A and B are shown apart, each in its own frame.
Chain A
């Protein structure tokens, strides 16, 4: 998803939040199917890892199985286990919520892949500069500490504190390295903080630097999103858009308002995909011209 990567992080955040929130609010098989389809396409376009997909699939199966067994609601029994009925409604509800959870997991996987540390900082800084600073410091500390831990363990080995093969010995060795590492880390932190203070951190008025401007395309993306969100939400005030599972299955009336809402939602979900595909076609076309 090269296209989403270039967008302003806030508009991307709005996209993921609104898509998942609306799907969860309507809880309608139609919305769930649209979201799941888009999520899987995103996942493939982002070249997601097969291991992650396998894990999401496991969660899907578990959620799907658990609901009919626990839930005793619904009026159409399919079969009985002992005296407990397994109802059609509970099975459909389980299928829907399992697909919804899988879709959300796929979407959040893509969101995490799209949001690198720079973007995370950019999104945090207007709310809390200290939280943003903490995140940024931590992201620096993780590789630094890994390197230092390796140094310490090598030094410990060199002076003869070789960790043995048995578990207690290894724990003892690990504990010693961790202790030395944390002493060093705390001191190093104080030194870093003092040098920050020397360079004027926290003394003057804060100014912001941001690598992400608000481009024209971000504006278009944002406005389109807002229109489609409004298109999906406003009709649902006047007509029911959510699906009824209990006591019996009931799809909302398919009237003009429902169709507007459903179409707006589909457009909202596939908006980045449409842009991405147009971009790719354009690129192919330009390549051919050369």
Chain B
């Protein structure tokens, strides 16, 4: 690959290309389809905003330790996704956000979905899942003080994440199945997904309450041993 020497030019390209692409994609979709192809627009915009976030993220210096800890969490999360229905992935992502910071939480969420979908099937829904899981990890980091302090808040956040993830992905279900995003169809699919939402939320709470104390102990021990 040719490396552009000028730092500002590099930043401009990295930030500018996704923005321009997003705008063109939305315009094309609007003109070619009278603005009715929500599924395509949703996927493209989500993908490009993910890229935008990741390029912005790269500017920050987060240090190799946090980065590698992030990779460790991703691996544990991916390994956990092989348990059907009861997936500790969300719990591991939240824990990583809590203990390694919001930005790393986003990265862990997005990358663990990307990697585990290599085994479970990538598709147009991958960017949406990545964004949803990334946001779950991100806010896990933002609210880390409260989440570490009280188990009730932790359980509530687990429930909220289950509902958020399910409702976020229902946008995709509605778009891809009916070709448009009508409120009534969306509400129908949210109602149809209630059993899954309940399973998600309950398993999130169980895994969070089960996994957080041991992970806290392990990370405290490491912090003491290596001086983080």
Contact = CB atoms under 8 A, between A and B. Distances in A.
A271 B215 CA distance: 51
A230 to B, nearest CB: 11
B218 A25 contact: no
Interface centre among B39, B78, B179 (most CB of A within 10 A): B179
B218 A183 contact: yes
Given A126-B1, A126-B14, A187-B222, A24 B64 contact: no
A87 B110 CA distance: 41
Nearest to A67: B177
Nearest to B112: A138
Given A104-B123, A186-B69, A21 B40 contact: yes
B115 A138 contact: yes
Interface in B25-76: 28-29, 31-33, 37, 39-40, 44, 51, 54-55, 57-58, 61-65, 67-72, 74-76
A242 to B, nearest CB: 6
Interface residues of A, number: 60
Interface in A136-162: 137-139, 141-142, 145
B118 interface: yes
A79 interface: no
B68 A192 contact: yes
Interface stretch (A38-46, A196-204, A249-257): A196-204
Interface in B201-228: 214-215, 218-219, 221-222, 225-226, 228
Contact of A193 (B51, B65, B110): B65
Contacts of A126: 1, 14
Interface stretch (A108-116, A218-226, A262-270, A275-283): A108-116
A130 interface: yes
A188 B226 CA distance: 12
B107 interface: yes
Contacts of B183: none
B64 A25 contact: no
8 closest Cβ pairs, A-B complex = A128-B54, A137-B71, A193-B68, A141-B75, A189-B72, A193-B65, A193-B64, A210-B1
Given A208-B3, A233-B32, 8 more contacts: A25-B40, A130-B58, A130-B62, A135-B111, A137-B71, A138-B111, A145-B75, A241-B32
Interface of B: 1, 3, 14, 28-29, 31-33, 37, 39-40, 44, 51, 54-55, 57-58, 61-65, 67-72, 74-76, 78-79, 107-108, 110-112, 114-115, 118, 121-124, 176-179, 185, 188, 214-215, 218-219, 221-222, 225-226, 228
